[in-house]
Amino acid sequence: MRTHALALFLLAACGTQDSHQGPPSHSPASGLGPIAPLDDPTGLSWVPPFILSDAARALAHPSALTDGDAIDLWVAMALADRTTIGHAHTARFEDGLVDIAESLHAEQAWEGTSVSCPSVVAGEGERLLVYLANGKVGLARGDEGRWSRRGTPLYADGDGVPIRSIAAARNGDRLRLVVLVGERVDDLTLPLTDLGVGSPGWIVQVAAMVGAPRWGASLIELGLRVAPTATDRWREDLFFGVALPIVADLGAGPAPTAVGAASRYLDHDDARFQIVDSPILSGSPFARAASTVAYRGGVLVFYVARSGPRDAIGVGRWP
């Protein structure tokens, strides 16, 4: 046993020598991180890194929007028989996200019993809630408490394979959507003016990500960010949860996961996402998914990780 422990220790130590470098000490918040979970409780009325948890429901797939100091966060809430979308709000980051309320549940025939993978983007004077239901993508417009749903799926074509996860972002006058179909990430673009009824004319790029993370086994959740760099070029970052390869019998409990990222510049419409060589969220085993928002000159990163018996929402900050 001791022999194996020593060998694992040495292998792990050597592995870190060749990995991605640590965070710059005073970095500009322009690149892709890496990102560390928040660990300093100074000035906070909650204990980092978990900013939102629920005693009865596992939380997943965070999606955040900010308005000044205020933060709105939408999450998928898993119950025994269904999943709904919940919402929490705080006027200031320091106060934390305390109360979570149901924001959307399945009620249309095509949605089946569950709605999940919320991605909320700011539209023209309204918010757009893009969600996953029954392997298809749905859309609700409006605001908290008065969502108005599109009657039919916004996107349903996964080559006959159910869509497993989605993420949306706004890029100017277009809605950007990435969907996880099997192990493939497809990339879709739609003018905001085409969100109404009828059949949207999506521009689809199949297999928008180059390769697959060499350190992971299976993609599980997506997050998307469109943001300008410091030089006003536009870049699109794709965050994904990855189930890690099982290398040993760990007994009961969740399988290990990690958060990865891929990125591309938006200079060319056909550019594909390039995967970052190693996980970007360090120091948080079993983390997955990620939603990022610009906040007070930096970037907040909301992610899913195990807190006690259930998944909760942790937060990291960069730089």
Give the interface with another protein as residue ranges (CB under 8 A).
Answer: 2-3, 5-7, 9-11, 14-15, 17-18, 20-34, 229-231, 233, 235, 261-265, 274-277, 297
CB of 277 to another protein, least distance (A): 8
Question: Which residue, 14 or 109, has its beta carbon nearer to another protein?
Answer: 14
Tokens, residue 199: 């059949």
CB of 75 to another protein, least distance (A): 27
Number of H helices, E strands in the chain: 1, 21
Question: Which residue, 92 or 233, has its beta carbon nearer to another protein?
Answer: 233
> For residues 104 and 201, what is the distance between their CA atoms, to the nearest angstrom?
26
CB of 34 to another protein, least distance (A): 6
Question: Which residue, 152 or 274, has its beta carbon nearer to another protein?
Answer: 274
Question: Which residue, 66 or 263, has its beta carbon nearer to another protein?
Answer: 263
CB of 299 to another protein, least distance (A): 11
Question: Which residue, 125 or 297, has its beta carbon nearer to another protein?
Answer: 297
CB of 237 to another protein, least distance (A): 8
Question: Which residue, 11 or 247, has its beta carbon nearer to another protein?
Answer: 11
CB of 143 to another protein, least distance (A): 33
8-state DSSP, 193: G
CB of 238 to another protein, least distance (A): 10
Question: Which residue, 16 or 45, has its beta carbon nearer to another protein?
Answer: 16
Task: Note whether 208 and 222 are within 8 A (CB).
Answer: no
Tokens, residue 49: 């890194």
Alpha helix segments (H runs only) across the chain: 2-17
Question: Which residue, 264 or 288, has its beta carbon nearer to another protein?
Answer: 264
How many Cβ atoms from other residues are within 10 Å of residue 239's Cβ? 29
Residue 225: which H helix or E strand, with range?
strand 218-228
> For residues 291 and 310, what is the distance between their CA atoms, to the nearest angstrom?
19
> For residues 76 and 85, what is the distance between their CA atoms, to the nearest angstrom?
5
8-state DSSP, 273: B
CB of 156 to another protein, least distance (A): 30
Phi, psi (deg, nearest 5) at residue 55? -70, -25
> For residues 79 and 237, what is the distance between their CA atoms, to the nearest angstrom?
30
Task: Note whether 183 and 161 are within 8 A (CB).
Answer: no
Q: How many CA atoms lie within 13 A of 125 on its CB side?
A: 0
Task: Note whether 31 and 47 are within 8 A (CB).
Answer: no
